[in-house]
Amino acid sequence: MTVKRIKYISRFAQPLSGEDITRLADAASRKNAKLGITGVLMTSGGIFFQILEGPPEAVDGLYAAITRDRRHTDVLLLSVEEGVKRRLFPDWGMRAMDLDAESGDRLEPLKAILSAILAQRQVMESLSGSLERAVWGAMADARKE
């Protein structure tokens, strides 16, 4: 059976403690087990990064719920993979990794990558806003001609 895999990043809507993240991951793991979903949740500096994989309908439904969840803001879908033959996390209903609670230099690049992805999102939003204004301006000029 093939599965769907999505990756997304978002910001915490409000600060979460390490205990909050653990409770969230434990609840997600129980729910995901019922849905046939596996994955990983990584957090750092107020950022969620998650990979979800499972039956397409279940993954789509869960992602839609996440976009409406008040614990998330600035949700950005990073990738969608259809027809995946092998899960990356077949034994993890939802494994949480709180990078802020972990120690070690090996995790610093992961923290930097998460921050860079979020910074790129802000650049994309700014550029798309500029593009939108330019298109409207061009349309207005074309109407004058």
Return the number of other C-beta atoms located less than 10 Å from residue 118's C-beta: 18
Q: Average pLDDT of 103-114? A: 79
For residue 98, pLDDT over 80 is answered with yes
Contact 93, 33 (CB under 8 A): yes
Nearest to 28, CA basis, from 94, 73, 96: 94
Report whether pLDDT(59) > 80: yes
% of the chain with per-residue pLDDT over 90: 43
pLDDT digits (tens, 9 = 90+) for 5-37: 999 999 899 998 888 988 988 998 999 999 999
Residues 6+ positions from 122 with CB-CB distance below 8 Å: none
Question: Nearest CA to 112 among 14, 50, 45?
Answer: 45
Ordered structural domains, the chain, with CATH: 3-103 (3.30.70.100)
User: What integer pLDDT is reported at residue 40 of this predicted model?
Assistant: 93
pLDDT at 50: 95
- Flag whether pLDDT at 105 surpasses 80: no
**Beta carbons of 59 and 53 less than 8 angstroms apart:** yes
CB 115 within 8 A of CB 45: yes
Q: What is the pLDDT of residue 112?
A: 84
Residue 61 has a pLDDT of 96
Q: Burial of 100 by CB count in 10 Å (0-12 exposed, 13-18 middle, 19+ buried)?
A: middle
Mean pLDDT of the chain: 88
Reported confidence tier of residue 56, pLDDT bands at 50, 70, 90: very high
